[in-house]
Amino acid sequence: MRRVYLDHSATTPVRPEVLEAMLPFLKDAYGNPSSIHSFGQEGKKALEDSREKIAAAIGASSDEIVFTSGGTEADNLAITGTARAYARKGRHIIISSIEHHAALDSAKYLEKQGFQVTYLPVTGEGLVRVEDVAGAIRPETILISVMHVNNEVGTVQPVAEIGRLARERGIIFHTDAVQSLGKLPVNVNEMQADLVAVSSHKIYGPKGVGALYIRRGVRLEPMFYGGGQERKRRPGTENLPGIVGFGRAAELIVPEMEAEVTRLTAMRDRLLDGIVARIDDIVITGSRQHRVGNNASFCVKYVEGESMLLLLDMQGVAASSGSACTSGSLDPSHVLLAMGIPVEVAHGSLRMTLGRQNTEEDVDYVLEVLPPIVDRLRRMSPLYAASGRGK
Ligand SMILES: *Cc1c(COP(=O)(O)O)cnc(C)c1O
């Protein structure tokens, strides 16, 4: 059976060049980068080479990059780290209501610690309004966190405008660029960001490694205590094979980006238009204009997203409903609800995210298998019968 992977926003396969780059560091080059001897120095050099590659990919200097265990840790470190460091200046933070749980739950944790948090609304198109950010700022605001690209609906947020506003008011600006790196230009200066989170496994690197960009002069309290690694901002022996893989993945993805995004956007548009043409009552979720090229998100009315996922999987198609992190719970996605999508519609959400290995034949295959799946589920759906459309 054909297998079609359409869940690249959940994770991506490690590309061969990346694995190749990592292997020496899983074999003979096992030195600890903190050691004085040649084994250690070899590791240290690889660590610093990777740091330069990550910095180059986002327009930063290498001394502003701290390696972490992934995007989740980078978001946690950015938000809780600066909140703790600047608490004496003020205890109010602003965050969008459609952030990844890594950011959102960091803010919720801070709320329990006595910080005040404003959760920004979004438009029906899944976009944060700059006016809402401006309206939420108080004298005691220390941090604004708005993601660059949303992981569920793929919408691109006006981060440069928000960054400019934050800078004018002397407020730190964090953006989660996990879903934009490799899909859009990511430049810390153009975004006027002070903190930027990125993750390796969303760009064809290994899992369990990421980085936080920390603008020179921005202070933060570490989450861990231990050795002096990462200039004490993230102690612990570095995940060197992972970091080397991440560096290689970042180095490869940026120059290929434009051509690949053009290819994926055309495929995504054909997929989305094909679905709308073949299936009634589809609600496309999120702005079609301000959206990354590989994301097709929509709701299929009168059916459950989970049921579609299971039947798609039986046909070899891997997609997601809501986000991978909330699957397992039956709550509809906080992102779709924040966009004002009714709960019963949000239950029918599907997200298909394309990547390097997908072909036009994959799109044809999904357009062939999805309509009968929806048909079958709707025939069993009391909601569909009640809607009067079943006849
Ligand atoms: C995947 C993802 C994360 C978490 O990154 P991990 O490396 O999996 O911890 C954070 N933010 C966004 C937007 C993501 O898509």
Map out the domains of the chain as residue ranges: 4-11+257-387, 16-252
Task: Determine the Cα–Cα distance for residues 329 and 332; give it in Å rounded to an integer.
Answer: 8
Tokens of 267: 């495929």
CA of 199 to the centre of ligand 1 (A): 6
Task: Determine the Cα–Cα distance for residues 67 and 234; give it in Å rounded to an integer.
Answer: 7
> pLDDT tens digit string along 315-363?
999 999 964 444 455 688 999 999 999 999 999 999 999 999 999 999 9
Q: Ligand 1 in contact with 320 (CB < 6 A)?
A: no
Q: Ligand 1 in contact with 79 (CB < 6 A)?
A: no
Contacts for 258 with CB less than 8 Å, ≥ 6 apart: none
CA angle 239, 199, 312 (to 5 degrees): 115
- CATH T-level assignment (fold) for domain 4-11+257-387: Aspartate Aminotransferase, domain 1 (3.90.1150)
Among protein residues, the one with the nearest Cα to ligand 1's atom 5 is 71
Among protein residues, the one with the nearest Cα to ligand 1's atom 15 is 151
pLDDT at residue 389, as a whole number: 82
pLDDT at residue 330, as a whole number: 66
- CATH T-level assignment (fold) for domain 16-252: Aspartate Aminotransferase; domain 2 (3.40.640)
Q: Ligand 1 in contact with 349 (CB < 6 A)?
A: no
Taking a C-beta distance cutoff of 8 angstroms, is the pair 389, 280 a contact?
A: yes
The H-assigned helical ranges of the chain are 16-26, 38-58, 71-86, 101-112, 130-136, 159-168, 240-278, 305-314, 334-338, 343-346, 360-379, 382-386
Taking a C-beta distance cutoff of 8 angstroms, is the pair 7, 321 a contact?
A: no
Taking a C-beta distance cutoff of 8 angstroms, is the pair 349, 319 a contact?
A: no
pLDDT at residue 331, as a whole number: 80
CA of 290 to the centre of ligand 1 (A): 20
Give the catalytic positions in this structure. Answer: 325
In this structure, the strands spanning 282-284 and 295-300 are: antiparallel
pLDDT at residue 382, as a whole number: 87
Q: Which amino acid is at 179?
A: Q
Bridge partners of 4, per DSSP, are: 317
- 4-11+257-387 and 16-252: same fold? no
Closest CA to 182 of 258, 241, 242: 258
CA of 67 to the centre of ligand 1 (A): 14
Please give the helix or strand (H or E) that residue 331 lies within, else none.
none
User: For residue 201, which atom of ligand 1 is closest to its CA?
Assistant: 7
Tell me the longest C-alpha to C-alpha distance in the chain: 77
CA of 204 to the centre of ligand 1 (A): 13
Determine phi and psi for 185, rounding to 5 degrees.
-65, 130
Instruction: Identify the segments of the chain with pLDDT beneath 70.
Output: 322-330, 390-391
In this structure, the strands spanning 141-145 and 349-353 are: unpaired
Q: Which residue has the tokens 């840790």?
A: 73
pLDDT at residue 325, as a whole number: 45
